[in-house]
Amino acid sequence: MKTATFTVHATTDQSARWKRAAEAEGYASVGTWASRALDSYLKQRLVAGAPVPLAWGRGRVRAVLQDGPCDLRGLISPPFGIFHGSMAGPLRWGSTHAYSLVYLPSGRLLGTFRYAAHCKALASDLARVWVRWDGAGAEPPSQDSAPIVARHLSEAK
């Protein structure tokens, strides 16, 4: 299992409260307690219907297009990627507005929109649904995602 390390700055009062909370709940360290507390916070946001915050950065998007798999420059926020283009292929930056959202594990295109913001909104909605499924598998849970994708496609017109 891959892990990541985070450094959190806290005041002395926060540190004392966090240590007491971790100890009261039976955790050996604040780090272990904080990881569970943060996961719990994100799940509560999902239950409340709040958008899931996604951090987007530049990267390589592997998408399955009409001509087969293609490795493209774009934006990524695993498990999603956005590239400038459509199922027909990539477009030159600055040309026609067409941005496609891709499910990175399979390279499947989820939708093509006029603006990248539409792709980001769809990804946030899908992330909310898929976190409930724990993101398992190379394919997203299609029975839950189809209505969300259809709604975003119709709203973007």
Cα 108 to chain centroid, rounded? 15
pLDDT of residue 95: 67
Please check whether residue 1 lies inside any domain of the structure: no
Domains identified in the chain, total number: 2
Same domain, 37 and 79: no
Which of 23-37, 104-118, 135-149 is predicted least confidently?
Answer: 135-149
Same domain, 151 and 79: yes
- Are the CB atoms for 10 and 18 separated by under 8 Å? yes
pLDDT digits (tens, 9 = 90+) for 116-127: 999 998 998 888
Q: Where are the alpha helices (DSSP H) in 49-106?
A: none
Same domain, 35 and 71: no
pLDDT of residue 141: 56
| pTM (two decimals) | 0.62
Please check whether residue 7 lies inside any domain of the structure: no
Same domain, 79 and 151: yes
Same domain, 64 and 21: no
Please check whether residue 3 lies inside any domain of the structure: no
Q: Please give the angle made by the CA atoms of 83, 155 and 142, to the nearest 5 degrees.
A: 65
User: Which residues lie closer than 8 Å to 55 by C-beta, 6 or more apart?
Assistant: 77
What is the band of 27 on the pLDDT scale with cuts at 50, 70, 90? very high
pLDDT of residue 132: 53
Same domain, 72 and 140: yes
Same domain, 90 and 29: no
Same domain, 26 and 71: no
* CA–CA gap between residue 19 and residue 51 (Å, rounded): 30
pLDDT digits (tens, 9 = 90+) for 38-97: 888 878 877 777 766 789 999 999 999 988 999 999 999 988 999 999 888 888 766 678
Domain membership of residue 34 as a residue range: 12-47
